[in-house]
Structure 1
Amino acid sequence: MTKLSVNINKIATLRNARGGDAPNVVQVAKDVQRFGAAGVTIHPRPDERHIRYQDAFDLKPVVYTEFNIEGNPIDKFLDLVLQIQPTQATLVPDAVDAITSNAGWDTLKHRDFLSEVITELKSKGIRTSIFVDPDVRMIEGAANTGTDRIELYTETFAHQYSLGNKEAVKPYIECAHLAHELGLGINAGHDLSLQNIKYFKDSIPNLLEVSIGHALICEAIYDGLENVIKSYLQKLQ
C-alpha cells in the first residue's frame, strides 16, 4: 500500500489568520495519525506564513508515524531539520516569495550542492528526498546526489487529468521505472486529490508515499477530516 502523509500547512494558515491557536496544529497531527495517515508533512517557509519553525519542535514528540519536513535547504531550514531529525527531509527549490512549490530541482546544475546537503542529513540518520519534475534527466541526476528518494512533482499530471488527458501520466511512469532501476524510492505530491489519486497510484510502479495537503483539507471542509483520510487510504490500497 502506498503511504499517505498529510501536509498540515493549511491548518496553520487557518490558525494564523486569527492570530490565536485554533485550529491547533499539534492536535490535528495527532488526529490525522489516529484516522490512519502514515505520516505528517510540514513545509516551513522563511516568512512562517503558515507553519512556524516552533511548530516543528512542538510536533516532534507527537508524530509517532513518519515526520516529513519539506523546504528549501537554506541555512535556517537545515539547522531546523538537523535539530529535529525527522524521518525524512524533502528538499524543494522554492523561492522565498513562492505561494507554493512550482518546480523541481535541476539535479544536474545543483548536483554538488544537493550532494553536500544530503550527506549532512544522512549523517544524522535522516532519510532524504529530492523534489523533481517528471524528466528522466533529473532522475539520473538525483541518483548521483546520494539521495534516498525522489518526490515527483505532480501538478502537470493533476491539471491534465482534470482536462481528461490521462496520457499525462506517461512521463511519471517512465521516471518511476528509471528511479526504481537506479535504486531510488519514489514519493509524489502536489495537487493530488480524491479525484485523481487512484488513477495515479494504479499507474505508478513502486510508489511508496504521497504527500497531500491543500486538496485534502479542502475536501475535509465538506466531508470531514476522518472521512477524507479514510477515502484516501481506500484508494491507495
Structure 2
Amino acid sequence: MIEKMQGNIAIDGPAGAGKSTVARLLAARLGYLYIDTGAMYRALTWKALGLGIDLEDSRRLVELAEGTSIRLEDRGEGGIAVYCDGEEVTRAIRRSEVSRYVSIVAGVPGVRQYLVKLQRKMAASNRVVMDGRDIGTLVLPGAPYKFFLTASLAERARRRYQELLASGQQADLETIMEEIRQRDARDSQREVAPLKPAPDAIIIDTSQMSVEDVVARIMSLIAVAGQQG
C-alpha cells in the first residue's frame, strides 16, 4: 500500500519533460517533501549572471557556490519557494536567460559536488520526491523508486513556449527548440553525472500524456512495487 511506503523517489529527465510538475504533484499526494534540484542550479546561475561572472571560469563558479546560501521552503501541496542569500528568487530563476545558461553552471564538477552534498542532506528524512538530471544515478542511487521522464523535442519546446507566454515573457518557439537541443547535448555529454536513466529506472515517455496521467502512472507503479516488496 502507498500509505505505508517508505523511501525516496528519484525523478530525472531532460528539460521540458514535465518532471518538476509531476514531482511536485506526486509529493503533495504522498505527503512527501518536494526537492527541485534544478532550482538550486538556477539560483546559482541567476546570481552569477547578476554579478557578471564569466561562466567559463570554473574556479570562480565553485567559489560562488560555496559562498552562496540556497534554501528551498516548503509551501505545502508540493509547492516550494526558492531563496538565494535570503532573497526570494522563485520567479526570477525561471527567466529565459537563466534557462539558457544553467546547464553551463551545472556542468562544473566542483559546483555539482557541492550542491549534491546539500541535496543528500535534504533527503536524509527518507521521504522526499527529488527531481533533476542525476538523482537516480548520482545523488540518490539507493532510492527504491526511480523514474526517468522524457518527451519529444518538439513537445518539450512547445511546453516551454507555453510556460513562458503564461508568465508574461516573450518567446519564440524555434529559438526555444534550439536552446533545448543545445542543453540536451551539454547535459548528456558532460563529464560529471551526465543526463541518462539509472539502470533500474522506469522510463516514461510523456509526449502524449497529461500531467495527471503521468502522476497516476507513477502512483500505480509505486503501489505495485509496494505489493511486491
**Length-normalised TM-score, structure 1:** 0.31
**Length-normalised TM-score, structure 2:** 0.32
Bigger helix share: 2
Greater relative contact order (Cα 8 A, min sep 6): structure 1 or 2?
2
